[in-house]
């Protein structure tokens, strides 16, 4: 489709030239329009009102079967060839094309609505010296636009100025990288001075030269030329579409990229037309059937030529040939006549039925109350109705972490203070009590400034704090002082904390509720309400966090003049710096930390130290010298920090829970039992991803080893991957075993499959974004795939949206397995589009993932029901349907083939023409639909009880080329019985009254009656789950056959439509004879008995997992519903370190005097005269981006 459009574009001379550099001028639309840059409108729809009909018909006729039926229809219009009426093909073909067109139109209308919703959002644009409120789609490259707090960023913008000091803005990038912590962007000082002065902004004529549109979210290179001066631009000066402005009154930006050129849209991936593996297989089978049909017609045409030469001349006396028709021409015409007669090997009703079955199974997903989330009033939704059976064949799941596995909510869960643990409830016998929603919460009514949303259950901690325990007070004082959180007080007492990491927000909120309320800060002070008393601390220094230090400290002076250093960080780092007197307390705290880590909590250790005034003065002088040194500045500062952060006194530890969504661990456990491999692809940092891996039982202590791949060079990555592979499988060959084959229609598609390798034990693999970039290169990707597929769990962290899609495509290409991607944010869209099945979670990160998905629901736990119940049933039903459908139609058609040898190869039909017309539309349509919509081998509870029932779908055991050949052989045997038994039984037979009934019409009626009984009994044997609807369809179809037959063969119909209903009286003459019914019984018995015997032997000698479970179902009661999941505590040898999504440089930011001013001043006094803040100058900031930062190892 895309290639066709591209081709026409080339013909018209409109093929877009590759852009090498973007050059634009602010406030100059005519200049920018001359470059034909894309405007800000987006388009995800495929059709418009004029192109719908031709394009949709073109797409549909690309399906081989539709083109075939169109060809058949044309053949039937030729009188010399047609042996059946034209309407037998025309009506079903028009019906199929219409149903598919309506469905495609409905899908595209939804896409148009989504596009219009986005394109019609409003934004303020600076045009002709004034701000005008315009639609997003009217925004052009080079325009200056104004954004306000909580607005979406309209396009990719160069930040010009903002309402905040230092020209800063805060953005939430959840739609881009899945992270909800705020990120800081900063404008150039030269543009920041424009402020919100409309006249100055309208006169701004800066020229930007930058990179062309691309999908790299973490990099931007360009220059701004203004008044002859050139300024460097990087990623920190740019706001990307998809971000949301937070905690910033307003900002102005210059549009650099619009609409399809924005990095968000460049990362969204192409919309692919997804087809199931069964669709692909059916295309190949249909091609094979065409070949088989051609060979059958050729045999019969040759037979016709031989018969015409040998026998035909004897019949010309009463059947004269048409003028000019000889034996060769007669043979040629009979070939095409047999193409029409035997076309029922691929009936068009097959495709109608497949669409109905898929639609019905989609409704089951939409209607499933067990996948409805009442909290958000969100039902499950099958957004694509053509992929249901593929849900029963998933081998690999690629999942986002933030918002998909987790709720994106951090909660203060437990703590250890001076050797005593809090947060766990014990009963009278000292056993742990499970905390549920009904468990009584601690009430903080004594604290007017407490956060009402904060939940804690251990009353003893409140009592300890309120009793005045000095260690507890120091503990929470540390949490209220040692952080970089910014407070916002909208109304008196209504505090809102803006934390750069959700962990920090959780800890400061905990301190707030336990009586130590962080109220406000200035560059030199921190104000805290301690147990209702206002205390102002002088802030002397912030020893900021970085990935090497893994800790953060503040030095403060209390109102009584006491100097104290408060420190928090990773346990291993803090322990090295403790005073020897803390050894005993350290041992107890370590036990508590092990318990917390065993529960999957993220831990930090807290310590403090009282400082001497004289030493502090001396340290400040040396700090000033180090911070202003031209060489070795970082090293000298680190030495000073190391010096002061020693001989600390241990206070305790905190444990924060990154709350998983309900049911995540047991869902992952169930899917693992079903032999589905889960890979987590997240934009989050390594430590956080590892913690979640342990929390949801993907990473386990029992694993033999968890490999970390974090090298920064291609050689390093290759070495780490090879070392891991050699450890897991020492005897494996160095080169991967790749099987090359051909597949697809006409066997044009080349496939390469990397074989699975056996590994003893379970292993895990964690790889970060840098390393993954190298590993995805062509020379390393097979090494990555081999190593990853040997592992039970794979976690890729700090990955870009494009890398997520590349990982999915790698597995699709070399594993030939069905993949599913699940996510909830715009950063997951490319992954969702790349996988065979895309699932969107309607979560907190917007609706982009849902809009691009094939299925959607509100909670990750519903995935197990989608796959293990709906997916498995859909696959089972579709395979049963195809097996039965091919069986009944091949049986129907083969009888024609055998009859040809008895009718002079004249293309006469063995059945009545009306029977041929309604066989697939009426007599056999509803029973097979009933089975395909309602059948189930076991119910949903047994499906959960035995997830292993899912594995046959992964191996294509229910329908394949081999099973198709078996169906053909079965049909061939049945057709022989159904032709020769009635033929032999009726030959030279007389009625009870002595009259002859051995005429063609009686034989036709007997043959079609036998056929209908046999295929109906076969359907009953295939049906496992009977409902009233099934019964009605089966018996109703048989009743309809007899009712229609007696009606059509009646005197009345013959008198009204003499030529159309020639079988007058055949039904009443034949069906009242006992020998006719005996023949029906005999034919049915001979067809069905071998099937029953074969199945009995198969169940006895080689039972499948389905057979075993169904046997168990008959013997046992229904299994109970799954009990609520209780996480078992594991004894952990690892603990979370400083697992904050925390950015270096914030310490200096919060101690900046300019930070609190409304407009930036020209200069500012700084602590210790330090002037090298990355935020204070026009230098790149050192906060983490997706692919640039060195990952820290878990301690």
Residues annotated catalytic, as ranges: 400
Tokens of 194: 């424009």
3-state SS string over 635-654? HHHHHHHHHHCCCEEEEEEE
Q: What whole-number distance in Å separates Cα of residue 299 and Cα of residue 989?
A: 31
Q: What whole-number distance in Å separates Cα of residue 607 and Cα of residue 578?
A: 8
Are the C-beta atoms of 900 and 297 separated by less than 8 Å? Answer: no
CA-to-CA dists, residue 914 to 87, 268, 471, 1060, 1061, angstroms:
12, 53, 93, 9, 8
Tell which residue, 697, 637, 700, has the closest CA to residue 668: 697
- Burial grade of 211 (CB within 10 A; 0-12, 13-18, 19 or more): middle
Helix (H/G/I), strand (E/B), else coil: 712: coil
Q: What whole-number distance in Å separates Cα of residue 708 and Cα of residue 176?
A: 25
Run of H or E including 507: helix 502-513
Tokens of 1033: 């369809």
Run of H or E including 1105: helix 1105-1115
> Quick one: how many helices (H) and strands (E) in the chain?
41, 35
Long-range contacts of 952-957, Cβ-Cβ distance < 8 Å, separation of 24 or more = 952/1104, 952/1105, 952/1106, 953/392, 953/393, 953/871, 953/872, 953/875, 953/876, 954/393, 954/394, 954/395, 954/675, 954/676, 954/817, 954/818, 956/277, 956/393, 957/1104
Tokens of 477: 């004082």
Tell which residue, 514, 642, 633, 622, has the closest CA to residue 569: 642
Tell which residue, 83, 86, 142, has the closest CA to residue 339: 83
Helix (H/G/I), strand (E/B), else coil: 382: strand
Q: For residue 437, what are the β-bridge partners?
A: none
* Per-residue DSSP letter, 240: P
Q: What whole-number distance in Å separates Cα of residue 819 and Cα of residue 808?
A: 7
Q: What whole-number distance in Å separates Cα of residue 698 and Cα of residue 145?
A: 46
Q: For residue 703, what are the β-bridge partners?
A: none
Report CA torsion sign: 312, 315, 319, 320. Answer: positive
Q: What whole-number distance in Å separates Cα of residue 816 and Cα of residue 749?
A: 13
Contacts of 18 by beta carbon, 8 Å cutoff, 6+ apart: 212
Are the C-beta atoms of 1155 and 1149 separated by less than 8 Å? Answer: yes
């Amino acid at each position: 489709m895309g290639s066709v459009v591209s081709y026409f574009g080339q013909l018209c001379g409109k093929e877009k030239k590759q852009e090498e550099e973007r050059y634009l001028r602010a406030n100059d639309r005519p200049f920018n329009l001359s470059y034909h840059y894309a405007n800000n409108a987006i388009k995800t729809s495929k059709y418009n009102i004029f192109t719908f009909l031709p394009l949709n018909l073109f797409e549909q006729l690309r399906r081989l079967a539709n083109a075939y039926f169109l060809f058949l229809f044309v053949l039937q219009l030729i009188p010399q060839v047609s042996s059946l009426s034209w309407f037998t093909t025309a009506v079903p073909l028009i019906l199929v094309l219409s149903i598919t067109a309506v469905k495609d139109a409905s899908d595209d209308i939804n896409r148009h609505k989504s596009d219009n919703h986005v394109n019609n959002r409003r934004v303020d644009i600076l045009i002709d010296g004034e701000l005008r409120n315009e639609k997003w789609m009217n925004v052009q490259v080079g325009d200056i636009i104004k954004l306000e707090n909580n607005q979406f960023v309209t396009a990719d913008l160069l930040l010009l100025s903002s309402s905040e000091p230092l020209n800063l803005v805060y953005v939430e990038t959840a739609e881009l990288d899945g992270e909800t912590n705020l990120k800081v962007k900063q404008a150039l000082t030269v543009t920041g001075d424009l402020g919100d002065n409309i006249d100055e902004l309208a006169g701004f004529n800066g020229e930007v030269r930058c990179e062309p549109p691309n999908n790299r979210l973490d990099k931007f290179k360009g220059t701004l030329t203004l008044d002859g001066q050139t300024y460097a631009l990087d990623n920190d000066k740019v706001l990307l579409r998809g971000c949301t402005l937070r905690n910033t009154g307003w900002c102005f930006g210059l549009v650099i990229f619009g609409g399809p050129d924005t990095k968000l849209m460049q990362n969204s991936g192409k919309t692919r037309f997804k087809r199931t593996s069964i669709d692909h297989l059916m295309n190949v089978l249909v091609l094979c059937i065409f070949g088989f049909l051609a060979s059958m017609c050729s045999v019969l045409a040759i037979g016709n030529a031989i018969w015409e030469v040998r026998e035909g001349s004897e019949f010309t006396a009463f059947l004269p040939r048409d003028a000019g028709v000889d034996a060769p021409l007669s043979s040629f015409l009979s070939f095409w006549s047999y193409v029409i007669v035997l076309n029922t090997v691929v009936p068009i009703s097959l495709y109608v039925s497949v669409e109905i079955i898929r639609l019905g199974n989609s409704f089951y997903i939409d209607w499933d109350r067990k996948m409805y989330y009442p909290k958000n009033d969100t039902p499950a939704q099958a957004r694509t109705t053509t992929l249901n059976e593929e849900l029963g064949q998933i081998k690999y799941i690629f999942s986002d972490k933030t918002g998909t596995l987790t709720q994106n909510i951090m909660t203060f869960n437990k703590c250890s203070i001076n050797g005593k643990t809090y947060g766990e409830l014990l009963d009278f016998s000292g056993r742990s009590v499970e905390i549920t929603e009904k468990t009584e919460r601690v009430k903080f009514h004594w604290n007017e400034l407490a956060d009402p949303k904060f939940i804690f259950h251990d009353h003893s901690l409140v009592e300890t704090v309120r009793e005045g325990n000095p260690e507890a007070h120091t503990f929470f004082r540390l949490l209220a002082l040692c952080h970089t959180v910014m407070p916002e007080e909208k109304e008196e007492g209504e505090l809102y904390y803006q934390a750069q990491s959700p962990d920090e927000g959780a800890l400061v909120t905990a301190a707030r509720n336990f009586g130590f309320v962080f109220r406000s800060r200035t560059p030199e002070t921190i104000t805290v309400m301690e147990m209702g008393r206002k205390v102002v601390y002088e802030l002397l220094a912030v020893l900021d966090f970085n990935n090497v230090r893994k800790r953060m400290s503040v030095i403060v002076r209390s109102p009584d003049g006491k100097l104290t250093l408060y420190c928090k960080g990773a346990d291993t780092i803090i322990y090295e710096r403790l005073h020897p007197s803390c050894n005993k307390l350290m041992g107890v705290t370590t036990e508590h930390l092990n318990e917390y880590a065993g529960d999957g909590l993220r831990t930090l250790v807290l310590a403090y130290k009282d400082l001497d005034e004289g030493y502090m003065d001396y340290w400040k002088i040396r700090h000033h010298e180090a911070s202003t040194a031209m060489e070795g500045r970082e090293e000298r500062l680190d030495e000073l920090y190391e010096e002061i952060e020693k001989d600390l006194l241990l206070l305790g530890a905190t444990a924060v829970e990154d709350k998983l969504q309900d049911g995540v661990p047991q869902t992952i456990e169930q899917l693992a039992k079903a032999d589905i491999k889960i890979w987590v692809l997240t934009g989050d940092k390594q430590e956080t991803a590892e913690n979640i891996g342990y929390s949801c039982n993907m990473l386990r202590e029992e694993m033999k080893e968890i490999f970390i791949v974090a090298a920064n060079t291609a050689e390093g990555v290759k070495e780490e991957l090879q070392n891991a592979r050699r450890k897991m499988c020492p005897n494996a060959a160095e080169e991967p075993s790749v099987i090359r084959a051909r597949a697809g229609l006409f066997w044009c598609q080349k496939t390469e499959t990397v074989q699975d390798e056996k590994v003893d034990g379970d292993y895990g693999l964690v790889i970060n974004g840098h390393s993954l970039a190298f590993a995805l290169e062509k020379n390393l990707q097979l090494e990555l795939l081999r190593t990853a597929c040997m592992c039970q769990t794979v976690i890729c962290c700090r990955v870009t949206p494009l890398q997520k899609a590349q990982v999915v495509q790698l597995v699709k290409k070399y594993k030939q397995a069905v993949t599913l991607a699940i996510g909830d944010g715009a950063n997951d869209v490319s992954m969702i589009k790349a996988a065979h099945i895309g699932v969107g979670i309607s979560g907190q990160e917007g609706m982009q993932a849902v809009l691009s998905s094939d299925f959607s629901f509100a909670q990750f736990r519903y995935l197990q029901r989608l796959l293990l119940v709906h997916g498995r049933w859909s696959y089972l039903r579709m395979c049963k349907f195809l097996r039965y459908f091919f069986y009944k139609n091949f049986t129907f058609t083969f009888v024609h083939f055998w009859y040809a040898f008895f009718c002079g190869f004249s293309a006469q039909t063995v059945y009545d023409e009306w029977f041929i017309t309604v066989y697939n539309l009426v007599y056999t349509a509803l029973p097979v639909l009933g089975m395909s919509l309602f059948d189930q081998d076991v119910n949903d509870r047994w499906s959960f009880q035995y997830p292993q029932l899912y594995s046959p779908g992964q191996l294509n055991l229910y329908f394949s080329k081999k099973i198709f050949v078996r169906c053909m052989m079965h049909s061939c045997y049945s057709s022989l019985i159904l032709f020769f038994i009635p033929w032999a039984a009726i030959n030279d037979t007389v009625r009870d009254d002595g009259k002859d009934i051995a005429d063609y019409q009686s034989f036709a009626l007997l043959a079609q009656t036998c056929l209908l009984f046999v295929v109906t009994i076969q359907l009953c044997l295939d049906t496992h789950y009977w409902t009233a609807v099934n019964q009605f369809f089966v018996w109703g179809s048989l009743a309809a056959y007899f009712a229609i037959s007696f009606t059509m063969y009646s005197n009345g119909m013959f008198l009204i439509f003499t030529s159309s209903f020639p079988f007058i009286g055949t039904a009443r003459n034949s069906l009242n004879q006992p020998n006719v019914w005996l023949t029906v019984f005999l034919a049915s018995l001979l067809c069905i008995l071998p099937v029953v015997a074969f199945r009995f032997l198969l169940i006895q000698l080689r039972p499948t997992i389905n057979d075993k479970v169904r046997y168990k179902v008959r013997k046992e009661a229904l299994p109970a519903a799954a009990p609520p999941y209780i996480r078992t505590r594991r004894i952990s040898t690892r603990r979370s370190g400083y697992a904050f999504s925390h950015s270096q440089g914030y310490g200096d930011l919060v101690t900046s005097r300019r930070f609190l001013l409304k407009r930036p001043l020209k200069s500012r006094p700084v602590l210790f005269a330090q002037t090298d803040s990355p935020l204070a100058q026009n230098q790149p900031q050192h906060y983490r981006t997706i692919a640039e930062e060195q990952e820290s190892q878990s301690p």
